[in-house]
Structure 1
């Protein structure tokens, strides 16, 4: 009994002797600096003669969550504040040419051959359930988009000529023989398009 009394007295003395109480600040909504993050991505393997590469594209969106009732005021953010924000098809093709040149390929010839082969063996979009087929068809069919106002006529006409050559007569490998590799076969051997 003495032991029980000593333990109870010790607990009471300890609880009353601590006068330093701390209360953590509470939030009505979310703690400060709370972020909701979504990350979307797509990745496709590219198989080259002596390399294996994954081509990945990601999109990440962050939202600051409200920590105070005043945070519910709408914020208007202009997405296109500058005129250089858009990436037109011609600029995208020039990025592809530089990318292919960095691998030691003839980038321009390989791009024309790619467009020609996509046109020669078209995607069957009415039965397509594959997102990759739809993306490849849209990106590498230059006739789907009007040339930009600042587009060079010569480059645009060569792109359309490559597409027409594939659709009309084929033989893209002979016409664009400076490109020794078929880029279409790199991903169509893995994915049946």
Structure 2
């Protein structure tokens, strides 16, 4: 009886093993965009105020930023290699500095707002990672900061951004820590300040 079971098991392995060996293995894929491709983010806020029954004022505030997308698979190879996180941090730092400059020109504390966004994104999306949609994934991509150890030659901004990201993972008190920023970029991107949401 045991001999039949063993023979059947061996026969099954002989039959199944060629099928298992032919199953293709998919490797991690990367996207390279055409030369000059960019991601543009625009935020437009409009507010109306009625002055008198027949008159009203409309005030609009527009904010936009453009981020160059990777356009060569050679660049993407750097992201996969050990130490590629330094390049990712540098790329994110360039984006964050552009955002800070725009917010500074609008009268906000740009550095504090970016740090608050890094903190809030880490706090918000770490806990419910399975339940996020496309918009949340986009925000996580922009405000996710590589957490590998900061090297000695990297700029101080990298340490500040990483500290904000790690603070968000540990605590939910981002608005208190970065209180010089009066609004949340993450909430704005998610439509929390909209009257229609």
The TM-score with structure 2 as length reference comes to 0.51
Cα gap change, 1:93/1:43 in structure 2, threshold over 3 Å: closer, same or farther? closer
The residue that corresponds to 1:32 in the other structure is: none
Larger radius of gyration: 1
Residue in 2 that maps onto 1:175: 177
Where in structure 1 are there 5+ consecutive unaligned residues?
A: 1-38, 60-76, 81-85
Residues 1:179 and 1:128: Cα distance change in structure 2 (over 3 Å): closer
Q: Does residue 151 of the first structure (1) align with residue 154 of the second (2)?
A: yes
Q: Which residue of 1 is the match for residue 116 of structure 2?
A: 113
More helix by share: 2
- 1:147 deviates by 6.4
Check if 1:51 corresponds to 2:60: yes
Q: Is the 8 A contact 2:42 2:63 kept in 1?
A: yes
Structure 2: state its 5+ residue gaps. Answer: 1-36, 48-58, 76-87
Equivalent-residue separation in structure 2 for 1:186 and 1:145 (angstroms) = 29
Q: Return the match for 1:93 from 93, 96, 108.
A: 96
CA distance in 1, matches of 2:139, 2:96: 13
Given that 1:46 and 1:187 are in contact with CA atoms closer than 8 Å, whether structure 2 keeps it comes out as no
Could you give the per-residue CA deviations for residues 112-163 of structure 1, whole angstroms, max 9, x where no partner exists? 0111111111164434342x221210110112678699630x2111111111
SS at 1:142's partner residue?
coil
CA contact (8 A) 2:113 2:178 kept: yes
Does structure 2 conserve the Cα–Cα contact (< 8 Å) formed by 1:120 and 1:170? yes
Q: CA deviation at 1:45?
A: 3.8
User: Does residue 170 of structure 2 align to residue 161 of structure 1?
Assistant: no
Match of 1:185 in 2: 187
- The equivalent residue for 1:25 is none
Distance in 2, Cα, partners of 1:47 & 1:133? 20
Corresponding position of 1:15: none
Per-residue deviation, residues 58-98 of structure 1 (Å, max 9, x unmatched) = 99xxxxxxxxxxxxxxxxx9x98xxxxx9711111111111
